[in-house]
Amino acid sequence: MARQPRAAARSSAATTELLIDRFRPGGRILLAEGVPQSYVDLGDPTYLHFDYVRRMASVVDAAAPGGAPLRVLHLGGGGFTLPRYVAATRPGSAQTVVERDAALVTLVRRELPLPTDDIRVRVADARDALRTEIDGDYDLVLADVYQAARMPEHVASVEFAAEAARVLRPDGIYLLNLTDLPLLAFSRVQAATLRAVFADVALIASRAMLRGRRYGNVVLAAATQPQRLPVARLASRAARDPVPGGVLHGASLDRFVAASRPVTDAPTGAG
C-alpha cells in the first residue's frame, strides 16, 4: 500500500501520524511511533481494514438484534474506527470513548471528524475513567489500550477485568484486543485472567495465529452470564473472513489456557 503523510501531532507518549491510502480515496491510516493503530474510511465507516477490528465488530453485531442501539464504552480511541462503525450500524447508540492522548484526540477531531454527537470523548487514563463509571451502565465495553505496540500492565489484570464486569449490564459483553508473539503466552495468560472474572470467555484469532505461525492480534470476548457468547455465529463469521480465523471456547479454550495463571495487580512474587 503506497502511503503519503497527511498530518502529524506529538504528545508526551508518542508521535502520531495520519497517512492517506492512495488506493482507497477515503482511507486514512493512523500510526503511533510508526506502528499502525487505526484505519478509517471517511466515506464508509462500515469498511474495516484490519482483521482484528472485523473480529471485534462481529461480536458487536451479534450482541443484540441488528440495528438496535447500544450503550458502549470504548477504552482506547485511536482513530475511533469502531465508534464510527457502531454509529453507522446501530444508529442512536450512546457511546463514550476514553483516550488518554489529548494531542491524538485533537488530531482525529480535526482530520477525521466524528459523524454524530452521540459519541462522547473523555481524555483520561482507561483505568481511572473506568473507576468513575456506574454499575451496570453498558451493553458493551471494548478495550483496545496500547502505548505504541505495548499494552500497559494496569489494564491487563484481574482487577481491571473486574471493573469492566462491574459496569456491564447483566447480559453485557467485554471485548479485549491484544497483540502477541507466535507462542501466544500473553494470550493464554489474558484468557486465564478473564476467566477469573467472567463466566463465559472466547478467543478469536486468525488461523495462522492459532497455529503459532505469526505475530498479530487476538480478540477475547467475555460475559458474566454463562453461555452468553454467540460462539457458533462468531466461528462462522471468523471462518468467512478474508483472513480466515477460528474461535476457542469451552474445552478448546481449556486446552489453550492449560496451566497459565491470571495476572493481578500484586507485584510479581508478592504473597
Q: Could you tell me if residue 11 is inside a domain? A: no
Local structure of residue 222 (DSSP, 8 states)? E
Q: At what angle do helices 231-240 and 51-62 cross, to 10 degrees?
A: 150
Residue 83 lies in a domain: yes
Contact 76, 105 (CB under 8 A): no
User: Residue 160 domain-assigned?
Assistant: yes
Residue 9 located in a structural domain: no
In a domain, 65, yes or no: yes
The pTM score is 0.92
Residues 210 and 45: their CA atoms lie apart, in Å, by 29
Answer yes or no: is 246 within a domain. yes
Phi, psi of 269 (to 5 degrees): 90, -5
Say how many domains are in the chain.
1
Q: What CATH code is carried by the domain that includes residue 146? A: 3.40.50.150
Let me know if residue 22 belongs to a domain: no
CA atoms within 13 A on the CB side of 202: 26
Establish if 14 belongs to a structural domain: no
Q: How far apart are alpha carbons 110 and 1 in whole angstroms?
A: 24
- Which residue range is the domain that position 227 belongs to? 46-257
Q: What is the pLDDT of residue 132?
A: 96
pLDDT given for residue 240 in this prediction: 97
In this prediction, residue 1 carries a pLDDT of 44
Q: What is the pLDDT along the chain (271 residues), one digit of tens a residue?
A: 444 555 544 444 457 889 999 899 899 999 887 888 899 999 999 999 999 999 999 999 999 999 999 999 999 999 999 999 999 999 999 999 999 999 999 999 999 999 888 999 999 999 999 999 999 999 999 999 986 567 888 999 999 999 999 999 999 999 999 999 999 999 999 999 999 999 999 999 999 999 988 899 999 999 999 999 999 999 999 999 999 999 999 999 999 999 999 999 987 544 4
How long a stretch of residues is the chain? 271
